[in-house]
Structure 1
Amino acid sequence: MKCTYKNLVNDINRGDLVPVYFFYGREELLKEEAVQSLIQKAVPPDLRDFNLDILYGDETDWVQIIDRISALPMMAERRVVVVRDVNNLEATDKRKILQHLSTPFDHTCLILTAPDVDASRGFYKNLASLACHVNFYPLNDKLLFDWVQRRIQRYGKSIVPEAVQILCDSIGESLIALDNEIQKLAIYVEEKPTIEARDVAAVVGKLRSQTVFKLCDAVGRGDLPEAMTLLSQLQEAGAPRSHIVWAIRQHFVKLARVGQISRKGKSAHQIAVGLHIPKKHVNDIIQQSANLDEDDLEKAFAQIYETELKLKTGSQEPRMAMTLLVYHLCRPMGDWEDV
């Protein structure tokens, strides 16, 4: 049974638990928080020594897993068994587990986790058919923006939109990395209730955050010399390339959305408010968007995706991959066929 993250949270809060969960995907923080929420809901803290087992795919086998999930709970309504990184199980263990999960144990809550696997094929497809399965994918820019604001509220603070944008552009889409910086920000501002752009610049690093902004802007304007200079500065400063690519991708997502809204006749003010764009930048963004049609955007996103694959698989030297990305994005899109 496929489940959304939102529905999963609601079910856990209501206590509507099922025998088997399968959590996978790239977003590790939300995945881990879901695991911890299930543990907290299923087993009281004082009974977890007897009713909670945490296993790892590269250290266990199907016999041990089935032994743990078949054991009766001790002085509790149910047991919880967590198997992390089921992708590391041997093929035989995977087959045996599927056989036993066809008739799950109602007194046990089994939680299996994996990284970014293809749940539409093989073992993972069969596992997903037997479990409440949730794909923890990276949040898009709107959801990421909202998540940062909610996370900061946990510390009794608020944050201005420009500061959220700087934080996300500087750190990227990793919620673990963002959460670390949010904790630092909450400490840095002390009693001040609102986190501002200058606070983020001071904590995250003013040079890097400003340079990422300038790089995205230069790429959007098609200013190749400026973009190459800024890219070199970022790489020399040790900025994670995945974060740079993410920031560029988010910039083009923003350009696409601005183009859609502009064609509906919305004003610059309406665009700034609706997309959380600082007013001092909105006219530049509108101009950049006007220079791109749908075909241009499709080519840009294809180039960004190709670069992400190169960085992930190591199929091309990282600096060269980044250089080619910026080179392609800054050139007139119609000239790409000549490359």
Structure 2
Amino acid sequence: MEINYETLIANLRKGKIDPLYFFHGPQDFLKEEALSLLISKLVDPNLRSFNLDILFGPDSSADEIFNLSSTLPINAERRLVIVREAQRLPVPSKNRLLKLLPHQSDTATLVLVCTEVKFNQKFYQELKKLATVVKFGNLAYGEVRRWLSSQAGKLGKKLSPEVINYLLEAVGDSLFDLANELEKMAYFVGERAQITIEDVQAVFGPGHPSEIYEILDLVGEKRMEPALRLLSNLFAYRKSPSWITASLRKHYSRLYLLKAANGKRFGEVAGELGIWESKRESYRRQVSSHSLDELKEKIYLVYDAELDLRSTLSRKLVLELLIYNLCR
């Protein structure tokens, strides 16, 4: 049986817990949330050493996993066995485990947690028949927004749509990073429920990596002076010059592809390039203020600056000249 993350969480909260789970997919933060909820539902904190085992695939054998999941729990209905990096179990152990799993005890829940999975392999094909399969895929833009609002609610805080936009533009879609920044902001505002953009900016402070996104917009709109001020902040906090040029190169490459795609709708191309919906109007303005030849020339300017960074001591001067030339 295959279910999604939302169904899994709903089931766990209702106490509907299956004996065997197969977790896979790239979204590790959601996996950790699900595992934490499973632990809270099945394991009394005072009995963790008796009723919870956490193993790692490369260091485990099929018999060890099966024996632990067959051990009777102490003062509980079930015990919990989690195998992290289960995809790295040795092949003989995978084959042996497939033979043992149909005989697993109903007094335990076993969770096999995988990252990279090749479903054309026999182990995973057979595992899908035996386990409750949960895919932890990357969230779409709207799902990340809802998740962020929900996380704020758990901390007793509220986020306006504008603050959510700002956070996503500044931090990106990494749930680990967003959760970390959100916890800082919740601590910063104290008992106040509403988190404002001013709060976010105060927590980030000067030189925060999020300022690169502001620089990209300012340079794309040919606003040199504020872009140079933010560049000084990044340098003051020792941000990598190569990271700055890589961000500029990616930005101008996106603008070029948007400009060049005359036969497609703007929103369609922006989606293919992974540009957040909240940023698309800014991109549209920047594209309209450049010709295709100008954008191509600016990409080459960034390439030249990257070469200059390897052969000069004044890296700040190289980037200041680059900002100047990009804004002309």
Normalised-by-shorter TM-score class: 0.5 to 0.7
Q: Residues 238-284 of structure 1, C-alpha deviation per residue, up to 9 Å, x if partnerless?
A: 4996x969x96xx99xx99x9569xxxxxxxxxxxxx6x4xxx8854
CA distance change for structure 1 residues 96 and 184 in 2, over 3 Å: closer, same or farther? same
Q: Is residue 212–residue 234 contact of structure 1 (8 Å, CA) maintained in 2?
A: no
CA distance in 1, matches of 2:25, 2:241: 24
RMSD: 4.3
Q: Is residue 84–residue 114 contact of structure 1 (8 Å, CA) maintained in 2?
A: yes
TM-score w.r.t. structure 1 length?
0.66
Aligned counterpart, 1:129: 129
How far 1:154 moved relative to its partner?
A: 2.0
Q: Which amino acid aligns with 1:120?
A: F
Aligned counterpart, 2:213: 212
Q: Is residue 43–residue 51 contact of structure 2 (8 Å, CA) maintained in 1?
A: yes
| The 10-residue stretch of structure 1 (134-143 or 88-97) with the greater mean CA deviation from structure 2 | 134-143
Q: Residues 272-312 of structure 1, C-alpha deviation per residue, up to 9 Å, x if partnerless?
A: xxx6x4xxx88545556889xxxxxxxxxxxxxxxxxxxxx
CA distance in 2, matches of 1:167, 1:26: 21
Does the residue aligned with 1:75 lie in a helix, a strand or coil?
A: coil
CA distance in 2, matches of 1:260, 1:175: 25
How far 1:103 moved relative to its partner?
A: 3.4
Q: Is residue 68–residue 81 contact of structure 1 (8 Å, CA) maintained in 2?
A: yes
Aligned counterpart, 1:15: 15
Q: Which amino acid aligns with 1:118?
A: V
Aligned counterpart, 2:58: 58
Q: Is residue 207–residue 234 contact of structure 2 (8 Å, CA) maintained in 1?
A: no
Aligned counterpart, 1:151: 151
Q: Is residue 217–residue 282 contact of structure 2 (8 Å, CA) maintained in 1?
A: no
Pairing 1:1-339 to 2, within 5 Å after superposition: 1-115=1-115, 117-122=116-121, 123-208=123-208, 209-215=210-216, 237-238=239-240, 259=266, 277=278, 284=282, 287=285
How far 1:54 moved relative to its partner?
A: 1.2
Does the residue aligned with 1:173 lie in a helix, a strand or coil?
A: coil
Q: Residues 128-180 of structure 1, C-alpha deviation per residue, up to 9 Å, x if partnerless?
A: 33211112122222111121122112222212323222222222222112111
TM-score w.r.t. structure 2 length?
0.68
CA distance in 2, matches of 1:240, 1:41: 47
How far 1:64 moved relative to its partner?
A: 1.0
How far 1:81 moved relative to its partner?
A: 0.7
Q: Is residue 25–residue 135 contact of structure 1 (8 Å, CA) maintained in 2?
A: yes
Q: Which amino acid aligns with 1:6?
A: E
Does the residue aligned with 1:23 lie in a helix, a strand or coil?
A: strand
> Highest CA radius of gyration, 1 or 2?
2
CA distance in 2, matches of 1:110, 1:61: 14
Q: Residues 156-215 of structure 1, C-alpha deviation per residue, up to 9 Å, x if partnerless?
A: 221232322222222222211211111111111234332122222222245552331442
Q: Is residue 55–residue 82 contact of structure 2 (8 Å, CA) maintained in 1?
A: yes
Please, which runs of 5 or more residues in structure 1 have no aligned partner?
A: 262-274, 292-318, 321-339
How far 1:5 moved relative to its partner?
A: 0.5
CA distance change for structure 1 residues 168 and 260 in 2, over 3 Å: closer, same or farther? closer
CA distance change for structure 1 residues 58 and 118 in 2, over 3 Å: closer, same or farther? closer
CA distance change for structure 1 residues 66 and 222 in 2, over 3 Å: closer, same or farther? farther
Aligned counterpart, 1:331: none
CA distance change for structure 1 residues 197 and 16 in 2, over 3 Å: closer, same or farther? same
Q: Is residue 184–residue 203 contact of structure 1 (8 Å, CA) maintained in 2?
A: yes
CA distance in 1, matches of 2:170, 2:8: 30
Does the residue aligned with 2:47 lie in a helix, a strand or coil?
A: helix
CA distance in 1, matches of 2:133, 2:189: 40
Q: How many positions carry a matched residue from both structures?
A: 273
CA distance change for structure 1 residues 217 and 25 in 2, over 3 Å: closer, same or farther? farther
Q: Is residue 166–residue 197 contact of structure 2 (8 Å, CA) maintained in 1?
A: yes
How far 1:80 moved relative to its partner?
A: 1.0
Q: Which amino acid aligns with 1:143?
A: E
CA distance in 2, matches of 1:29, 1:50: 26
The percent identity for this pair of structures is 33
Q: Which amino acid aligns with 2:113?
A: T
| The 10-residue stretch of structure 1 (139-148 or 202-211) with the greater mean CA deviation from structure 2 | 202-211
Please, which runs of 5 or more residues in structure 2 have no aligned partner?
A: 269-276, 290-308, 311-328
